[in-house]
């Protein structure tokens, strides 16, 4: 059997009957509506714009439909408006162990920042009595007075002993901006202070847990409580500035 071309007539009558509209025309001569952008082939309907609302019911556009269309809603910020200011960071969680020692440590810091005036390393200390009153203050003065034992802790302990009229400082607290060296740690043990509160750690010479742990040696007859890390960054800052500035311990010229 011969294959027929798709264009070859098949013998079926395709002539429209009387009164039937011609293909591509509508009754009355009106042209059919052109398909809208994005309309499917043969669907005969245009895609609805979400931002225009429901065209079939006449419902207005909502913020949700506007957002889906990529257009700002009623409450959207105008173009060019600044971004909202972020909420401030929450305060750090309360620290019942260290919070009570912040103010005494700031007193010790006020002593520390005065030490570089005489070429001394900025370390400060205070001794508090059992009631929290300041009994002694001190800052490094080795260069100022030429005394190898004139560390901040030793000077503060001496002043506190004079204030109490005895060498035993039972019930007292030594607050110091830098972890004590072996000499100062030993002096605190001999003074029988109840606790030592420390700001910055001293990895090179600290004797309260960093390099040695003189104050908690079980072979000794007195072991004070040790609290590390009170305002550690603030206590380390003067030391960092002192050494980065190129200054070295010694009298100022």
Closest CA to 116 of 138, 141, 150, 153: 141
- The two tokens of residue 145 are 């007075």
Residue for token pair 């972890």: 179
Catalytic residue among 141, 143, 153, 179: 153
- The two tokens of residue 161 are 């002993």
Coil/strand/helix, residue 225: strand
With b for 16 or more beta-carbon neighbours within 10 A and e for fewer, the 145-175 pattern comes to eeeeebbbbbbbbbbbbeebeeeebeebbbb
What count of residues does the chain have?
A: 253
Q: Is 153 a catalytic residue?
A: yes
Catalytic residue numbers, as ranges:
153
């Amino acid at each position: 059997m011969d294959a027929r071309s798709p264009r070859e007539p098949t013998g079926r009558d395709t002539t429209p009957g009387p009164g039937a509209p011609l293909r591509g025309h509508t009754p009355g001569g009106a042209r059919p509506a052109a398909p809208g952008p994005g309309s499917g082939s043969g669907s005969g309907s245009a895609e609805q714009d979400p931002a225009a609302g429901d065209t079939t019911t006449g419902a207005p556009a909502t913020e949700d439909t506007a957002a889906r269309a990529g257009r700002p809603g009623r409450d959207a910020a105008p173009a060019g408006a600044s971004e909202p200011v972020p909420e401030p960071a929450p305060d750090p969680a309360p620290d019942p162990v260290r919070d009570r020692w912040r103010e005494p440590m700031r007193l010790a810091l006020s002593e520390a920042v005065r030490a570089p005036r005489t070429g001394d390393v900025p370390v400060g200390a205070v001794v508090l009595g059992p009631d929290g009153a300041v009994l002694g203050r001190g800052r490094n003065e080795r260069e100022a007075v030429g005394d190898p034992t004139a560390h901040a802790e030793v000077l503060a302990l001496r002043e506190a002993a004079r204030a109490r009229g005895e060498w035993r400082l039972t019930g007292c607290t030594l607050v110091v901006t830098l972890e004590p060296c072996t000499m100062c740690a030993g002096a605190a043990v001999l003074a029988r202070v109840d606790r030592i509160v420390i700001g910055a750690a001293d990895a090179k010479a600290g004797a309260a847990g960093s390099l040695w742990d003189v104050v908690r040696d079980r072979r000794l007859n007195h072991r004070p409580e040790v609290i590390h890390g009170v305002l550690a960054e603030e206590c380390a800052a003067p030391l960092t500035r002192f050494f980065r500035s190129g200054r070295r311990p010694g009298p100022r010229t």
